[in-house]
A = this chain, B = another copy of it.
């Protein structure tokens, strides 16, 4: 019994399904909304000279394993053939503290971020939404679309990204997933004329302007801003939208609203709701109004997802057993 399970990325990939992760993330948001979980704030180590950082993210969902995700973000890694974001999850049995798993959490992070967007759209987008706009066509856009395909009848996706290769790759990937979906490659303004807008860019100056959002019910998943100084959405649009956060502390520090908060004109009382409370209360009151989901990623999403991975890995006999106490 004194073994822990080691799971690398290809093993995690074989096990993870978006359907399972969507359910796990929605359940975790609900538990968060009901005040059942423990999730201390993320801790940061900053590597100024190396242009990177490390975030340790502990969380405990009662009835499941507790754990810590240790994630690093190094934008210059691509030149060395390494991912920008790398992560490990360590899971511990709350009964004894014994570490029961160490798993790669890079892919897991991408998938649970996609799932958070899916859950947000499920609760915040207008019933019958069928048109998605994508600002940014990198890898996270794929996970977002995969999550939305699970519950939404998508008939049209508008993609805006100056990178033609990334746009083509994403289009090809979508066609393979569902050939019935119309795909347009277009400008930002036209992409914003949609039911669900998903922004996944690393920009530091807003590119989604107030005037571009023309439908009264558009739901925006603001995914890109994940550090101080980043923002994708113009202030006036933030002002007239219902802003739903995953966690106030995180979003005001490093989410889409971090710049407005630092500028002083966006305050906690302007938040329209928290995704956890909306899920916990099955609150459908935001479905016909303009909404922005400010997603920064919660440790409970990671723990909920990692728990699924471990459970399935044990069932399937996957991974390597290692004994730390030997």
User: Which of B45, B97, B103 is A38 in contact with, Cβ under 8 Å?
Assistant: B45
Q: Taking the full assembly, how many copies of this chain does it contain? A: 2
Q: Determine the chain B residues whose CB is within 8 A of the CB of A58 once the complex forms.
A: 43, 45, 54, 56
Give the nearest-CB partner of A80 in chain B.
B96
On whether the beta carbons of A97 and B77 are closer than 8 Å, the reply is yes
Q: Which residues of A contact B (CB under 8 A)?
A: 2, 6, 8-10, 38, 40-41, 43-47, 50, 52, 54, 56, 58-60, 66, 68, 70, 72-74, 77, 80, 82-83, 86, 88, 90, 92, 94-99, 102-104, 106, 320, 322-326
Give the nearest-CB partner of A51 in chain B.
B95
Give the nearest-CB partner of A71 in chain B.
B97
With the chains together, A152 CA to B256 CA distance in Å?
57
Q: Determine the chain B residues whose CB is within 8 A of the CB of A38 once the complex forms.
A: 45-46
Q: Determine the chain B residues whose CB is within 8 A of the CB of A106 once the complex forms.
A: 325
With the chains together, A59 CA to B44 CA distance in Å?
9
With the chains together, A151 CA to B92 CA distance in Å?
38
Q: List 15 A-B contacts (CB under 8 A).
A: A6-B322, A8-B325, A9-B324, A43-B43, A47-B60, A47-B94, A52-B97, A54-B60, A54-B68, A56-B56, A72-B97, A74-B96, A77-B96, A102-B102, A103-B324
On whether the beta carbons of B8 and A326 are closer than 8 Å, the reply is yes
Q: Determine the chain B residues whose CB is within 8 A of the CB of A97 once the complex forms.
A: 52, 54, 72-74, 77, 82, 86
With the chains together, A99 CA to B74 CA distance in Å?
13
User: Which of B43, B70, B324 is A92 in contact with, Cβ under 8 Å?
Assistant: B70
Q: How far is the CB of A143 from chain B (nearest CB, A)?
A: 18
Q: Determine the chain B residues whose CB is within 8 A of the CB of A6 once the complex forms.
A: 6, 322
Residue of A2, A9, A44, A52 with highest tally of chain B CB at under 10 A? A52
Q: Determine the chain B residues whose CB is within 8 A of the CB of A98 once the complex forms.
A: 72, 82, 86
With the chains together, A92 CA to B53 CA distance in Å?
10
Q: How far is the CB of A245 from chain B (nearest CB, A)?
A: 21
On whether the beta carbons of A50 and B95 are closer than 8 Å, the reply is yes
User: Which of B54, B56, B86 is A43 in contact with, Cβ under 8 Å?
Assistant: B56
Give the nearest-CB partner of A41 in chain B.
B43
Q: Determine the chain B residues whose CB is within 8 A of the CB of A40 once the complex forms.
A: 43-45
With the chains together, A223 CA to B325 CA distance in Å?
24
With the chains together, A77 CA to B2 CA distance in Å?
13
Q: Determine the chain B residues whose CB is within 8 A of the CB of A47 once the complex forms.
A: 60, 66, 94-95
Q: How far is the CB of A25 from chain B (nearest CB, A)?
A: 20
